[in-house]
Structure formats: structure tokens, C-alpha cells
A and B are shown apart, each in its own frame.
Chain A
């Protein structure tokens, strides 16, 4: 049982480059979310989804896009990377509103 899988684990980008952080879950969970973790800031919600085709913004959505075409996958896109987006990114999923979230191991992203 793989759970929540994030790729890549590490990435270095130059300012202005684009990239997609991948997230896949094999638990048939409807709810998926992206967070970023910065020192002293805890986990801040970027975007989330309550099912295929349904997404919404969290508290720090600027500079990020998401889509949810399947239940399994929830990619996070950076269209034009900025140094302020240097962070550790976590994807999470849960079956329903009454269940705890399962997190992936994170993607450590550095923007130069």
C-alpha cells in the first residue's frame, strides 16, 4: 500500500522556470490538499480538492495552479517560479470529512 506518493523529492529551479509537483494516492480518497511548510509558519494550505473536477483555493494560492482530472492524482503547478516559493511542499489525502489526512513525504523545492 503506497499511500500518498510525491515526486520529485528534491528540485532546484531558476527564477521564472515552471514545473509540476506530482501527487498520487492509491486509497481512493476524495479529499486532497497541497500545503507548504516554512520555518515558523507551520503548514499553510495552498489548494485543495473535494473530488475529481472540484478544486478551491487555500490561504496561500498565489503563484500556484491545480487541477483534479482523476481521483488518484492532484498535481501542483508553478507557472513562473519565484524565490519566495522556496519551501517544502506536502500533499495530503483523506477519505472523507470525518477522517484524518494522510501525508506524503514532501518535495523540497529551492528557487534560485
Chain B
């Protein structure tokens, strides 16, 4: 039973345009959400996070939006660059849980073409 879902396995965007990656979750106890980026033959690297007390967090070209009522978050990349081509994983967890387990989506392959 997937608690974090990324329904688009792939996304193709032209350089300079906006990339929007989506993520849905089912567990209302989740209060901390993260995005990771993964290049081939490397481990995932942390990109940006958001707490459930916020609805937006921005870091340079990357912005994450959280809609708690819809249990939905999205990652916006503006402007997209070819170096952004990677697999993006959405993750979530309940910080009140002592076990601290992190739940991942299946990832979205972003391709940014020139």
C-alpha cells in the first residue's frame, strides 16, 4: 500500500520552461515532506523540504508547494536547465513517530531538452 505516490513516471520539458513534478500522499499524519534528485550511478541527494505548517518553500529555482487539504505537493523548477535532467523522488514522514520511517514515491524521470 503506497502512502506516497508519484503518478507520472516521466516528464519532458524544454530548457527555460517550468517543470512541475507532482506527488500525492494518503497518510494525514505526515508532517514533513522532501524532494530528492538522483542522477544515474549516484545516490539520491536532498533537494528541498517543506514542513506541514507551511504551504510554500523556495530555494533558488526550486519551489515546493504543499496543499494539505488535497494531500498533494508539487515541485516547480523555473527555469529548467538540461542539468536538471534526473529522477526526482518525493518523500514524506511523520516526525512525531519515534521510528522516523521515511516513505518514498516511485520517482519521476525529468528530461530537459535544449
Contact = CB atoms under 8 A, between A and B. Distances in A.
Nearest to B45: A103
B3 to A, nearest CB: 10
Contacts of A104: 43
Interface string A23-52: 000000001010100001111110010100
A98 B89 contact: no
Which interface class (under 10, 10 to 19, 20 to 34, 35 or more) fits B?
20 to 34
Nearest to B44: A103
A45 B100 CA distance: 12
B75 to A, nearest CB: 14
A40 B44 contact: no
B44 A42 contact: no
A73 interface: no
B21 interface: no
Interface of A: 4, 31, 33, 35, 40-45, 48, 50, 56, 58, 90, 92, 97-98, 100-106
Interface of B: 6, 9, 32, 34, 36, 41-46, 49, 89, 93, 95, 97-102, 104-107
19 contacts: A4-B43, A31-B100, A40-B9, A40-B106, A42-B104, A43-B104, A45-B102, A45-B104, A48-B100, A50-B99, A58-B101, A97-B93, A98-B95, A100-B34, A101-B46, A101-B102, A103-B43, A105-B42, A105-B43
Rank and list the top 10 A-B pairs by shortest CB-CB distance, nearest first.
A103-B43, A42-B106, A100-B46, A43-B104, A97-B100, A105-B43, A103-B44, A97-B95, A42-B107, A42-B104
